[in-house]
Structure 1
Amino acid sequence: MTSRSFLTTILMAVAIAGAVSACGRKGPLEPPPASVTSTPGEPNQATPPAPDKRFILDPLI
Structure 2
Amino acid sequence: MKQKSQGISSGIYRYTHRCESGVNIHDIFVERSAFRVLFSYVGATCLLANVCRTLLSKV
Q: TM-score, normalised by structure 2?
A: 0.38
Structure showing greater Rg: 1
Structure with more contact order per residue of length (Cα contacts < 8 Å, sep ≥ 6)? 2
Judging by fraction of residues, say which structure has more strand: 2
Normalising by structure 1, we get a TM-score of 0.37
